[in-house]
Structure 1
Amino acid sequence: MKKYLCLCVLLFCIYNLGFSQNKFVVQNKKQSDKVKFKLINNLIVLPVEINGVTLSFLLDTGVSKPIIFNFLNVSDTLNIKNTETIYLRGLGEGESVKALKSENNIFKVGDAIKLNQDLYAVFDANLNFAPRLGVPVHGIIGYDLLKDLIVEINYSNKYIRLTNPEKYRYKDCKKCETLNLEFYNSKPYLNAKVEINKKEIPIKLLIDSGGSDALWLFEDDSLGIKSSDKFFNDFLGHGLSGSVFGKRSKIDVFSLKHFKLINANVAYPDSSSISFARKFKDRNGSLAGNILKRFNLIFDYSKAIVTIKKNSLFREDFSYNRSGIELAHEGIRLVKEIDNKVFKDGKGGLQNNQTINSNTIVIDTQYKLSLKPAFAIVELRKDSPADKAGLLIGDIILNINNKPTYNYSLQQLTHIFYDDIGKRIRLRVDRNGVILNFNFVLESPF
């Protein structure tokens, strides 16, 4: 009998181990785990461990298999094996991108582990989100994590909670709405409504947490989905297959059941950029981060539902960049600074047993040279205030309103360009070694 029981226990353990290899399972006593994330430009950046190496990933509901951007040869560190070459296609006007498919990788998000995960390593150097976000981003993950677990996204407190479905218990929530999900190519869609020119139009949207905009709509005259007369042409973002351009405007009303957002931002991408996306004929656009962040969400793919509840970000104003400048990290610069902490004791030594950081050079008792981040203009909207002032793509911004840019994060700098109409912006820039000064006033882009 003892031998029989031992055999049963062993078989049970082997069965459970094999079963858990093919899906994410939260492996702790609570069967639930909270993982903190950074909210950068309306995007969720969270830690993901792959084959023992911790990386930063975007949580992107619009992708099926995890993708690694291999511009830094990350795959060498991850010891990726069993690869085959494939081609991936996404948004953008370019061609498909080359990728290596790898099997049998170990993924860990918090206490959620999967022992047999496929991933794709993309080698296109242009697919590098880090400079535009200001933080390292090594890849994206979506469907494979969401399908196996109940995933709560708390945008207001910046964490996700992962729970094994059999352990999850819903709470009564009178202020919540539950929406049905539909899936096409492992991507989630929901039904919503927009009001355009006083006409209410039902629409089907991809839920795209990997997009920083609010709402993308595909123009369709037969449905009445078209931009108003007030719009401006702009760069909308980078897709897997290249840059996306289109029109930006405002929508009268956007509705998710009883939740309504007035005068929300909307973009209408050029048809050439979304030919791949329109293969799902019922799709009318995408619901992205600038609206999603206004809700706390519970994704339950096993029941094909998402529960939403508005949070403290719900009433945040929708605004546009009023300067026309898009910035990105552009390496580092050597900067001369006043140093009040490092000084000599008169005998050539340092006082108070102070030490100097390895990236600091003391040149006298008052100044030091330090390595600081540089910020470059990477997109410039035509006829924008910055464009009319004479700024150019490639200019390195040294000072903004008489303050060094290295004292700001990329997000803080960008936020300045969204400030009130009429605010004056003063910039000092480095253009190929020549220092120039510019100033302009923020204007409505419409």
Structure 2
Amino acid sequence: MLAFSRLGHFNRFHRDARLFLVTTLVAGAALSLYWIDFNLYLASLGFEPATIGLVATVASVGGALTAFPASAASDRFGRRTVIAAGMSVSILALVGLLLSEALPLIIGFAAMWAIGQQAFMVVQAPFLAEHSDPEHRNELFALQAAVQTVTNIVAAILGGIVAAGIGGLLGFDPGGPDTYRLILVIMTLLLVAALGTVALLSDDRPSRRAVESPLRAKPRARKGVRNRSRFVRLLFPGFLISVGAGQVIPFLNVFVQRKFDLDLTSLNALFAFTSLGTVAAMLTQPRLARRFGQIASVVIVQGASIPFLVVLGFSPVLWTVIGAMAVRNSLMNAGNPIFSAFAMEHVSPSERATLAAGMSVLWQGGWVIGGAWYALLQATLGFEAGYTVNFITVITLYSVATTLYWTWFRDADRHKFQERAAPT
């Protein structure tokens, strides 16, 4: 019933917001397959975990360097143009990865993929904020995140099954690089389809907006950051989370595969299963935000996720790891769309793209730091000891970040409740 209740808001969303949900559905499938299978593809080529960490780190640097230019370009040329350009770059990167086995080329094309994805991702929050009404914004952000998660589940299951099935017919080794190349082909086709949905979005170039409605073009003008301390508070906790996530999440597939010796189909199914609860949690989060406040709802779910991260990192039993992954993913990710909506509401329209770029830069920067730390630990301490230090670090950083959210923003919930209670 909850899902249908949330989906009932669909017709209340703006046309471009509805189309963007479709774009998220298709492009998100490609992104999901990349995160689940790309590191395993590199491992199948014979690269060591430290080298895989290097590839991820360089790619994160490329993505981080793209955020502010993409933000500025979206203000100048329109969000749709930047989204289309980002997808086009990602498609070219996948073609390059399909044709390359040399490490320098793989690093370059992985960075190119990150650049394209960053251009797409950095304008999502401003785009959704600009194509939604305040009373429906929490639901739109939550539904977009839920659509992405559903896509992750379907892509993880079908991607592994289809690739393994076709690979079997062609006589490929199930764990060999040719099977993973089939997944890269599937990703390419998905992004081409997503690019077609982007073409259906309204032309939002500032020059076009100015002709249609001069008042609508004004918010895109850059006026700088008015309240720098607010920006720091909105950005810093997410940076701490990204440093923690960057040393574990991109390599979680390698961790689980090596620890429990799972094959491709089982691993993809595992990651799909652990995402099931995330959908329900994300769709429930707007109701939780209305009941307790946006920040309180974020703190509740993120704080509750930390004990399950302990189980994930240190349990030797597969079924407990699966359960911990499912609950942790659900709780930790449920608060993200609500905080994104909160952040977009607490800056001016002209600052939204800058804030979104800052979030992306710090997220990518955190993953650079986390990825480099992961590679160093793997090279010096080895698999088990390295992951032990990684998990202790991520647990500490998540705890500090959640505390900062509550310390810095709890008054915002109180003020909003007071405004609602005030007579009109």
Instruction: Report the TM-score range of the alignment, normalised by the length of the smaller protein.
Output: under 0.3
Q: TM-score, normalised by structure 1?
A: 0.22
Larger Cα-atom Rg? 1
Tell me which protein shows more strand as a share of its residues: 1
Tell me which protein shows more helix as a share of its residues: 2
